[in-house]
């Protein structure tokens, strides 16, 4: 029962956050300075999520270079930069991780 209530509370809060600005600002135009700032929302939030996934919390700085996920992530980013192809990016990234694991034992 407790868990149901927890899930409902999280769901409601999350929905209200999603609705917040979309729902509030009816037909209003945002100030140009804010619109300019918003341009950076995706390019700031998504890379931060990516880094959180690639670097386990509490890992030592020295361990960064020996982190196969980080290396494979960098390779995938290069593929994305030069090809802009989603499937190729995911495919090469996954293959790199597997090679690093199987061949180099990382």
95 contributes a contact to other proteins by CB under 8 A: no
Count of residues of this chain found to bind other proteins when the rule CB under 8 A is applied? 68
* 93: number of Cβ within 10 Å: 20
- The set of long-range contacts for 93-97, using a CB threshold of 8 Å and a minimum separation of 24, is 96/71, 96/72, 97/68, 97/69, 97/72
**In the complex, least distance from residue 4 CB atom to other proteins, rounded to whole angstroms:** 6
51 contributes a contact to other proteins by CB under 8 A: yes
11 contributes a contact to other proteins by CB under 8 A: yes
**In the complex, least distance from residue 68 CB atom to other proteins, rounded to whole angstroms:** 9
Structural contact between residues 77 and 56, judged by C-beta atoms closer than 8 angstroms: no
DSSP 26: -
Would you tell me which residues interact with other proteins (CB under 8 A)?
2-11, 13-15, 17-23, 25-30, 34-55, 57-58, 69, 72-73, 76-77, 80-81, 84-87, 89-90, 93-94, 97-98, 101
């Amino acid at each position: 029962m407790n868990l149901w209530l927890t899930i409902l509370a999280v769901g409601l809060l999350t929905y209200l956050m999603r609705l917040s600005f979309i729902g509030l600002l009816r037909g209003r135009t945002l100030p140009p300075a804010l619109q300019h700032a918003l341009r950076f929302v995706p390019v700031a939030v998504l890379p931060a999520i990516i880094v959180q996934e690639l670097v386990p919390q509490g890992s030592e700085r020295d361990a960064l270079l020996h982190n196969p996920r980080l290396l494979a992530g960098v390779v995938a980013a290069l593929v994305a930069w030069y090809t802009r192809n989603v499937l190729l990016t995911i495919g090469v990234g996954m293959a790199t991780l597997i090679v690093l694991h199987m061949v180099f034992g990382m």
